[in-house]
């Protein structure tokens, strides 16, 4: 499988299936909905890949009850309850509640029977025969552009791991833009963790100086708002740049032109500064 111009190993594809359609899924409800429909709070918060798949950080705070259901538990609910449950996920801001209209051509008209006929949730049984197509589409829905690492002809010695990292997906949620920049510059293990702002700022202060040119390898672009650092990327020369758009499991470490990255990161309230690697 290829996604965004990047080869996806079979073992990682298997993980993606499990992350998009975990065996047990969270359904977010208000206390009133939970009582009316017979659900209790299971007491477990989504974590890791679950947080990103369902974008739990965007869920309405009024939906304070989380019911965890397997596909079998979901299927045996009365259809009116399934319909209300799925509609509630849309209202509360839970992600991965796609439209039937978009997917019934691939998955068949029986998709309408899962819930209210308009929306549904992913289960592994739906991905069984079409995993590659579904995941390719899911990833592209995040408006991520393909990686252009294959177009790079000169990989700089000053960035010892840039070539290794470019055009790869991390093995799960967490690894982010800060760790990608640091790892490209040679910081061991930075590409495998959710790098916080503080250690990135410390590294930036110790290993860079203000300034740098867009066409020279090793210029670190840093975007900030009034509160804190928001994003980072690093030039690899000849007008190319390496960055990781997000910490999500489907966000790759990719190469784009400097101009493309600047356009993609243009955000109200962010300001850009440049820093050149030293020593």
The confidence score (pLDDT) of residue 57 equals 94
Boundary residue ending a domain (109, 140, 171): 140
Residues 88 and 158 in one domain: no
Residues 135 and 51 in one domain: yes
Rounded Cα distance between 191 and 110, Å, is 42
Domain that holds residue 36: 2-140
Considering the entire predicted model, what is its pTM?
Answer: 0.93
Residues 136 and 154 in one domain: no
pLDDT digits (tens, 9 = 90+) for 225-277: 999 999 999 999 999 999 999 999 999 999 999 999 999 999 999 999 999 99
Computed over every residue of the chain, the mean pLDDT equals 96
- With a cut of 90, say whether residue 62 has pLDDT above it: yes
Residues 64 and 191 in one domain: no
Q: Is there a contact between 178 and 200 (Cβ–Cβ < 8 Å)?
A: yes
The confidence score (pLDDT) of residue 141 equals 80
Band of pLDDT at residue 43, cut at 50, 70 and 90 = confident
Rounded Cα distance between 150 and 90, Å, is 39
pLDDT digits (tens, 9 = 90+) for 114-138: 999 999 999 999 999 999 999 999 9
Neighbours of 205 (CB within 10 A): 10
* Kind plus residue range of the DSSP H or E element containing 133: helix 131-140
Collect all residues with Cβ–Cβ distance below 8 Å to 11 and sequence separation of at least 6.
none
Q: Tokens in use for 279?
A: 């020593």
Residues 57 and 24 in one domain: yes
Boundary residue ending a domain (140, 174, 194): 140
What's the CATH code of the domain at 216? Answer: 3.90.1720
HEC string of 189-217 equals: CHHHCCCCHHHHHHHHHHHEEECCCCCCC
- With a cut of 90, say whether residue 279 has pLDDT above it: no
Residues 131 and 156 in one domain: no
pLDDT digits (tens, 9 = 90+) for 167-216: 999 999 999 999 999 999 999 999 999 999 999 999 999 999 999 999 99
- With a cut of 70, say whether residue 143 has pLDDT above it: no
Residues 108 and 215 in one domain: no
Residues 129 and 244 in one domain: no
The total number of residues shown for the chain amounts to 279
The confidence score (pLDDT) of residue 142 equals 75
Rounded Cα distance between 209 and 220, Å, is 10
Query: To the nearest whole percent, how much of the chain has pLDDT over 70?
Result: 100
Domain count, the chain: 2
Residues 135 and 7 in one domain: yes
Rounded Cα distance between 21 and 201, Å, is 36
- With a cut of 90, say whether residue 26 has pLDDT above it: yes
How large is the average pLDDT for residues 76-88? Answer: 97
The confidence score (pLDDT) of residue 226 equals 94
What CA–CA distances, in Å, run from 162 to 47, 206, 238? Answer: 29, 20, 14
How large is the average pLDDT for residues 37-47? Answer: 93
Boundary residue ending a domain (115, 140, 165): 140
Collect all residues with Cβ–Cβ distance below 8 Å to 246 and sequence separation of at least 6.
142, 176, 177
Residues 234 and 162 in one domain: yes
Residues 201 and 84 in one domain: no
Residues 41 and 158 in one domain: no
């Amino acid at each position: 499988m290829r996604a965004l111009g990047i080869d996806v190993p079979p073992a990682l594809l298997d993980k993606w299936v499990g992350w998009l359609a975990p065996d047990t899924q969270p359904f977010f409800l208000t206390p009133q909905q939970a009582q009316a429909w017979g659900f209790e709070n299971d007491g477990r918060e989504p974590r890791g890949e679950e947080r990103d798949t369902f974008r739990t950080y965007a869920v309405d705070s009024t939906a304070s009850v989380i019911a965890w259901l397997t596909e079998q538990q979901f299927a045996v609910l009365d259809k009116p309850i399934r319909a209300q449950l799925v509609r509630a996920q849309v209202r509360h801001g839970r992600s991965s509640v796609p439209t039937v209209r978009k997917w019934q051509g691939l998955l068949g008209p029986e998709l309408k029977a899962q819930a209210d006929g308009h929306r549904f949730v992913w289960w592994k049984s739906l991905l069984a025969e079409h995993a590659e197509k579904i995941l390719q589409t899911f990833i592209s829905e995040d408006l991520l552009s393909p990686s252009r690492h294959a177009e790079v002809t000169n990989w700089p010695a000053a960035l010892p791991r840039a070539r290794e990292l470019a055009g790869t997906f991390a093995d799960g949620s967490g690894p982010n833009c800060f760790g990608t920049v640091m790892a490209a510059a040679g910081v061991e293990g930075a590409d495998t963790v959710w790098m916080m702002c503080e250690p990135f700022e410390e590294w930036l202060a110790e290993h860079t100086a203000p300034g740098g040119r867009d066409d020279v390898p090793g210029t670190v672009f840093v975007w900030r708002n009034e509160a804190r650092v928001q994003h980072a990327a690093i030039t690899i020369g000849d007008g190319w740049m390496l960055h990781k758009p997000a910490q999500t499991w489907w966000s790759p470490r990719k190469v784009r032109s400097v101009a493309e990255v600047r356009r993609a990161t243009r955000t109200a309230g962010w300001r850009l500064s440049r820093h050149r690697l030293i020593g």
